Amino acid sequence: HAAHGIEVLDRLLAAGIEFHAQIVLMPDENDGEVLRETLGWAYARPGILDVCIVPLGFTKHQTCFTKSFDDPDAAYRAMEVIKPVQERALAERGTLWAFAADEFYCNAYGDALLEHLPPASCYGEFEMFEDGVGIVRSFADDWQRAVESGADAVCAQALRKSNVVARLVFGYATRGFVARLVGESAVAGLASPLFVKNDFFGGNVDVTGLLCGCDIVRAIRDAALGEGPLDEPASLEDADSPAPNDSPLALFCIPRVVFNDDGVTLDDMALADIEKAAGAHVAVVSCNGSEFLPEIARLAADLRAKSFEG
């Protein structure tokens, strides 16, 4: 009954039901002028509280789609259509109203993402967080608060003292900001991101939450064998640190969002399965720096203590 969707939506709006709406944008289908008309139609209906625009996601397990808005120019052009609506809404309603998903900003601006990302005040109450709107801003602001509190310095001291290097597992979608944030903090050289390509799903699936155990295992094994970037630990300056000739231990940290409530990945691997298959020390940590930096500090100390016991 998709053809009757707009008719049904109008009936529900007329009944006083309010909506947070989403547009899945498809290249050459509903972008460009069609997107402009769609946003105009939605803006004329006060019951549509806001709209988020997300790019088409597709896997390698289909033959209908081969492109989305992964190209910088395509992502930028889509946001240029959205921008005038945002400016009007901000002036008339005090909110952006039309929210481009984080993927558009990541794809359009790459390493300059943080300079072009809207401030937190533009996202209201982050009502569309689970749709991929405002996640990058939330992570960046949380990281900044963690750095200002000294959590990165405390973590760095713990890693140095324990002679542990931490690898933080992330999907490719985060490359434009995570490496920069970590590299400019006190844990630089002691902790670094391990960006994992999603071969399980393929296509343009690249967010951290959709990573599968098999791909994480492959990335960890490659990093441990030197086929992936494994940062050398910073100089051991702490008097209580192990001797410099003591080889550093590598700790691979996987964000909790990769696992479901049953503790398994999308391909049914538990943490113990990943650790065994990878042949490395692996742990689950929180998704935000203010939480995972202290967690990594504790994990590093525990790892060193266990290695001495062994």
Q: Which residue has the tokens 């405390």?
A: 154
Q: Kindly report, residue by residue over 37-95, the tens digit of the pLDDT.
A: 999 999 999 999 999 999 999 999 999 999 999 999 999 999 999 999 999 999 999 88
Residue 219: how many other CB atoms lie within 10 Å? 22
Q: Kindly report, residue by residue over 174-217, the tens digit of the pLDDT.
A: 998 999 999 999 999 999 999 999 999 999 999 999 999 999 99
> Would you state the pLDDT for residue 237?
41
> Would you state the pLDDT for residue 233?
38
Q: Which residue has the tokens 């001495």?
A: 308
Q: What is the pTM of this model?
A: 0.88
* Core vs surface per residue 114-143: b (16+ CB within 10 A) or e: beebeeeeebbeeebeebbbbbbbbbbbeb
Contact 48, 19 (CB under 8 A): yes
Mean pLDDT (the chain) is: 91
Kindly report the length of the chain: 310
| Domain range summary for the chain, segments of one domain joined by + | 2-133, 140-309
